[in-house]
Amino acid sequence: MPFFQEIKEDSFRIIADTDPLRVLDAGCGAGTDLTTLASRLPEKTHIYGLDMSGSILAHAAERTKGVRDRCSLVRGDITNIPCRDAVFDSCRIDRVLQHMCAPDLGILELARILKPGGTLVAFDNDWDTFSINLDDQDLASRLARSWRDSFVSGRIGRDLPGIILECGLTDIHRDPRTLVLTDLSIAEQVFDLPVLIDRSERAGIITPFEMAGIREEFCRRAGEGTFCTGYTGFLAWGIKPG
C-alpha cells in the first residue's frame, strides 16, 4: 500500500542520510526490504538481515541472490543479537515490536550493537487508535479492543520514542502517521476484518447476532460510501551518543 511504502521509503532515506557502512534490518522476513535497501544505499554499504525463522530466511536468500555480495542473512533473536557491541552504523525495525513480549529489550539490544553516532529507525503501530465506524459505538469499541489485544504489544507505536530515549539514544524524532480507509475491500485485507469478526465472536466479545449485524452494516456502509476505519502508527528514530 502507498501508506506503508511511503513510511518504508522515509526510513530508507533516514538511513541513507547517515552514509552507513553496515546496516541491520531487524526482523527482515522474506527480504523484500533488503533488496530495496541495497538499491537505495551506496555500493560500499553492507546490509544484514536478521530473522528468527530459518525457513523465512531461505526465502530471503532467494530474493537477495542478486545482491549477495552486499547482503548477509543472520538467524537470531532480536533480544539477543549474535554480534558484538557497536558494529552497525544504522539499524532498522519495521512493525516487528508489536509481536514481541518485551519490545523494550529489542530496542535496547539494537542500541547495543549501534556504533556511537549510529542511527536507529523504527516504525510500529498504536492499535489503541484503531477505530471502526459503526452505529453502535460500544460494539465498535469492543471490536477495536479485540483487534488491539490480538497483538502482544499492541500500543508499542506511541511508546517507541520514550523507549528509544530510555535505551540511551538522543535527538529523538517522533512522526505519527495516520491511515484512513474508506474502501471495505482494502480494509478487509489490511485489518483482516473477516477474521477479526469471527475471532471476536468465538471469544464471546460479540454475539452471533452482533456479528451478523456488523457484516450487514459493513456492506450497507460500503454501498452508501460511509464506511471508514483507520489507525495511527509512529515512525521514530534517534542517535546513539558518540
Cα separation values, 221 from 39, 183, 193, 215, 217, Å: 42, 10, 15, 10, 6
| Residue pLDDT, tens place only, 218-236 | 999 999 999 999 999 999 9
Cα 64 to Cα 60: distance, rounded to the nearest angstrom: 6
Q: What is the largest CA-CA distance in the chain?
A: 60
Spatial separation of the C-alpha atoms in residues 119 and 138, rounded to whole Å = 42
- What CATH number does the domain containing 160 carry? 3.40.50.150
**Tens digit of each residue's pLDDT (9 = 90 or more) over 57-68:** 999 999 999 999
In three-state secondary structure terms, 149 is helix
pLDDT tens figures, 73-116:
999 999 999 999 999 999 999 999 999 999 999 999 999 999 99
For residue 68, give its domain range: 2-239
CB-based burial label for 89 (10 Å; 0-12, 13-18, 19+):
buried
Structural domain count, the chain: 1
